[in-house]
Structure 1
Amino acid sequence: MKGLLKFEHILEGARISQEEALELLEKADLATLGYLANEVRKLHHPEDLVTFVIDRNVNYTNVCVAGCKFCAFQRKINSPDAYVLDVEQILNKVKELVDWGGTTLLMQGGLNPNLPLEFYTELLRTIKKHFPQVQIHSFSAPEIVYLAKIERMTIEEVLRELKKAGLDSLPGGGAEILSSEVRAFLSPGKCSVEEWEEVHRTAHKLGMTSTATMMFGHIEEPRHIVEHLERIRRIQDDTGGFTAFIPWTFKKGNTQLDYLEEAPSTYYLKVLALSRIYLDNFKNIQSSHVTQTMQIGIVGLHFGANDLGSVMIEENVISSTSYRVSIPKVEDMVNAIRSAGFKPAQRDTYYRIIRVF
């Protein structure tokens, strides 16, 4: 493994610099990165337990004014296939989640100018009234920022209202690459890097947890990936509020970026490995079977990941592209984790173990 001696300090859990991270991503071979990340994973998870959650991703509306170039899910307000789910439809979906044995409700939608804050607070209260046991892990930073703007409220005021109504934690969606240079082209109609950070720092201050994500493999350069990792590591140093980091790759099909070549799985594994090495203050790193297939998903468990995401009853966003999403059943997830040499365990939103298989 070429150049391994130079990075021996990583094996002891030492923090690496941005310069070292860039060197690893650009110059280290796949085997070296994988080995280093796997050893770091063992420092965080010596018991070799790999977790997953049973959840449902409910996209309550596909109307969005952001116009992100990578998105195939968004629809304009007057589009014939634009929709907003009513409360009864959402409650039926939550009931199916509960009947399935699920614990986590992930709700995300577009930036819909016709939906006021009251729509969200009433929805949260109704869900909690009927299903108090469900952990509501919903509404990404762009949705929070957009709500604050249309209601002329601060981000903290919006989050306080949502938390009071029943919101438990925030997903990391809408991050894409946390670089102003990249976002100016990729998603200029969405919240800024600083606003994304403010949402998560504020949520953590209010006692809520969140996840951090990264969607890469499009127009970014390696330095932008390192910039992203540095920002979320710095936030985690200050707040400790992130439960996990979840990187995944751009999938084309029905997007404005279909002229790009998708990142190969080898590059995905390198970025995943670097994430485990760089984010020394994150306990959990998730491998994406949704964008990478289950075969690559379990390989990711040997490249630093200790979580295989979710058994989802529903997925609509990636499915809007030309990529065919395969959703595993619980037994499929358990068998896949075992086949990779790990012990499978179901977790909840907060990464608390529900049962070990």
Structure 2
Amino acid sequence: MIDTIKRKVTAGEGLTREEALWCLTEGDLLAAGKLADSIRRRKHPERLVSFVVDRNVNYTNVCESKCKFCAFYRNLTDDDAYLLPNSAIIKKIEELVEQGGTQLLMQGGLHPGLDIGYFERLFREIKSRFPNLQNHSLSPAEITHVAGLSGLTIPQAISRLKEAGLDSIPGGGAEILVDSVRAEISPKKIGWKGWAAVMSEAARQGLSTTATMMFGSKEKPEDIVEHLFRVRELQAAGGSFTAFIPWTYQPGNTELGGGTASGVEYLKVLALSRIVLDNVQNIQASWVTQGAKMAQVALFFGANDLGGTMLEENVVAAAGCCFRMSRDEMISLIRGAGFTPVRRTTLYKELERY
């Protein structure tokens, strides 16, 4: 089987689900890493590793979805439930721009009182004050929720948000794109076809997107493979995924609890992501969940990007995972692994080499 996989990778041919599953469950970790690294070098022949200076602004922690893997959400009546006033959001963005930030990632929860008018007013204010900032915000679940509250179709909601200043859509809330897994870990959230419908419509309307995968909770190896192939097929059907970001479930303070994937399992899934997703240009390592040292190793297992410096991040931190990284630390990390650091935009336009 490994010889067939090597031949296909060398020829630039796509794997089958069966071959991908073998690679994940029976294949050798280092062999998978070597193959993934060869694809990385083919797609990115210069020894460059990119990152973006950004901030996650979690505008609310109120969420009706109540996913079992999430330690961040609160009920509307909880004492520590919050909705940031616009003035606080604007101040956070000002701090981001002062530090040279180019990307704003706004995500919160499925708040029962926030219809599309709230986001239109907020996004217009953000765009008027910070016209050069990329508003890379709202997960497919949030957009679906807002559309439902507002009596809109998905195309209508995306069109109105885009008009108000939404520039691109992050791939949050994908978890595992298999409904049997979603029913166990996030039963109130949209199914995988709902996630896909938002991403496909965003691409049709000219918005760039990303795709993610959270693994290490309740999924089987077959589910990980299915997730990867569904992302690949969505991209082949006209998707606009600029990057894929696999990351591991963080069990701290969650209803789901339990364990998570090991470092070896993370690297194997990362490598398989690079091998399977031959039509997605960038694979991002998750230093937020894995830490700086594992992020360096990931650069030899298919990753070519380290995501954002994240001036602020609250969702993963709520589960007790609190890695932080300044721009200088990011640059040192990349150099320490033997690569040239590149600051980029959300859409992977090079801004500066270090």
- TM bucket, shorter chain: over 0.9
Deviations 1:65-122 (A, max 9, x none): 1010000000000000000011100000000000000000000010000111110000
The answer for the alignment partner of 2:331 in structure 1 is 334
Query: Per the alignment, in what secondary structure is the counterpart of residue 312 of structure 1?
Result: coil
Match for 1:315 among 290, 313, 320? 313
Deviation at 1:7, TM superposition (A): 2.3
Deviation at 1:4, TM superposition (A): 4.3
User: How do 1:114-125 and structure 2 match up within 5 A?
Assistant: 114-125=113-124
Q: Report percent identity of matched pairs.
A: 49
Deviations 1:299-333 (A, max 9, x none): 0000000001111110100110122x121111111
2:329 partner letter: D
2:281 partner letter: K
Asked whether 1:344 is paired with 2:348, we answer no
1:297 partner letter: A
TM-score, normalising length: structure 1: 0.97
TM-score, normalising length: structure 2: 0.98
Deviation at 1:182, TM superposition (A): 0.3
Q: CA RMSD in A?
A: 0.9
> Is the contact between residue 298 and residue 308 of structure 1 (CA under 8 Å) also seen in structure 2?
no
Deviation at 1:281, TM superposition (A): 0.2
Deviations 1:21-48 (A, max 9, x none): 0000000111111111000111110112
Match for 1:301 among 278, 290, 299? 299
Query: Per the alignment, in what secondary structure is the counterpart of residue 262 of structure 1?
Result: coil
The answer for the alignment partner of 1:182 in structure 2 is 181
**Where does structure 1 differ by over 6 angstroms across 4 or more consecutive aligned residues?**
none
Deviation at 1:134, TM superposition (A): 0.5
> Is the contact between residue 216 and residue 260 of structure 2 (CA under 8 Å) also seen in structure 1?
yes
User: How do 1:75-154 and structure 2 match up within 5 A?
Assistant: 75-154=74-153
User: How do 1:281-292 and structure 2 match up within 5 A?
Assistant: 281-292=279-290
2:286 partner letter: S
> Is the contact between residue 62 and residue 81 of structure 2 (CA under 8 Å) also seen in structure 1?
yes
- Which consecutive residues of structure 2, in runs of 5 or more, have no partner in the other structure? none
Query: Per the alignment, in what secondary structure is the counterpart of residue 239 of structure 1?
Result: coil
Work out the CA distance in 2 between the residues paired with 1:7 and 1:174.
Answer: 31
Deviations 1:151-204 (A, max 9, x none): 121001000000000000000001000001100111111111111000000000
- Which consecutive residues of structure 1, in runs of 5 or more, have no partner in the other structure? none
Query: Per the alignment, in what secondary structure is the counterpart of residue 166 of structure 2?
Result: coil
The answer for the alignment partner of 2:5 in structure 1 is 7
> Is the contact between residue 147 and residue 158 of structure 1 (CA under 8 Å) also seen in structure 2?
yes
> Is the contact between residue 185 and residue 256 of structure 2 (CA under 8 Å) also seen in structure 1?
no
Work out the CA distance in 1 between the residues paired with 2:23 and 2:134.
Answer: 38
The answer for the alignment partner of 2:155 in structure 1 is 156
Match for 1:277 among 270, 275, 278? 275
Work out the CA distance in 1 between the residues paired with 2:127 and 2:285.
Answer: 30
